[in-house]
Amino acid sequence: MSHLPGSRSALAPDRAIKPGRHGLSREAVGLIQRGRLIDGFVRQVAEHGYTNVTISRVTEAAGVTKKAFYLFFPSMEDCFVAALEQGAAVLEEAVRTAFQTAPDWRSGIEAGLDALLRTLAAEEPFARLVTVEVAGAGARVRAVRDEYLERFRAVFDEPGYGGETRDHVVDAVVGGVYSTLYLQVDSGRTADLLSLLPSLLYFVMLPLPDPEKGSSTK
């Protein structure tokens, strides 16, 4: 599985590009610099808040020039979108893999929630970005967030669900889980996210009909 943005220091020795002849192609150098910028951005946002982060802070944290920043991102918002898309894709993969490899539907829901909570709990910078800081970003960033929430919503619409669950119930479930994560991260308890699993599992399962039983699981 890929790393969440912000999980690694942009200035780690193994990410340095040696001056002079380093044997790397221009494309490889670009990928390294772009990755460092995204990681630096996420860590700066987690530490200072999105509204207080400048391009200078990001480039200093990433160890690259402002010129390099603008090669990849026309604006800070573009960098935010890139970080959010990259991280949300990692979360989606973790949740879907856990859900699809579970022996049954209920176990899949529990495994998916467990994967989500464990992944975010281990990566506080991105957890803060995707819950707290995204709320204060622009409409374009929030639209990306909403797009990925819709894709997580699709987990509850897997084949076998039979269309029995009304859309607004699933929306409420996904929104409730997201709001709970927001409150936990915003209060500085990201490392304890896994403690929410029993409560979130109860909240998720109660209104949703188990497709294997044809009724709500209580």
Residue pLDDT, tens place only, 78-125: 999 999 999 999 999 999 999 999 998 889 999 999 999 999 999 999
Residue 4 lies in a domain: no
CATH at residue 109:
1.10.357.10
Residue 123 lies in a domain: yes
DSSP assigned state of 21: -
Q: Write down the pLDDT at residue 164.
A: 53
Q: Which residues make Cβ contacts (< 8 Å) with residue 147, sequence separation at least 6?
A: none
The reply to whether 136 and 125 lie within a common domain is yes
In angstroms, rounded to a whole number, what is the distance separating the alpha carbons of residues 32 and 15? Answer: 7
Q: Could you tell me if 58 and 163 lie in one domain?
A: no
| Model pTM score | 0.86
In a domain, 2, yes or no: no
- Among 74, 92, 121, the domain-final residue is 74
pLDDT in the model for residue 30: 77
Strands (E), the chain: 209-210, 215-216
Number of domains in the chain: 2
Instruction: Answer yes or no: do 39 and 95 share one domain.
Output: no
- 19 close to 112: Cβ distance less than 8 angstroms: no
Range of the domain at 199: 77-216
Residue 7 lies in a domain: no
Please tell me the predicted confidence (pLDDT) of residue 115. 96
168 within some domain: yes
Amino acid 166: pLDDT: 60
The helix or strand, by DSSP H or E, that contains position 215, with its residue range, turns out to be strand 215-216
Residue 198 structure tokens: 């029993």
Mean pLDDT, rounded, for 27-46: 90
57: its two tokens: 């802070």
Residue 209 CA to residue 113 CA, distance in Å, equals 17
Domain check: are 201 and 124 in the same one?
yes
Q: Are residues 81 and 146 in the same domain?
A: yes
pLDDT in tens, 177-192: 999 999 999 999 999 9
189 and 169 both lie in a single domain: yes
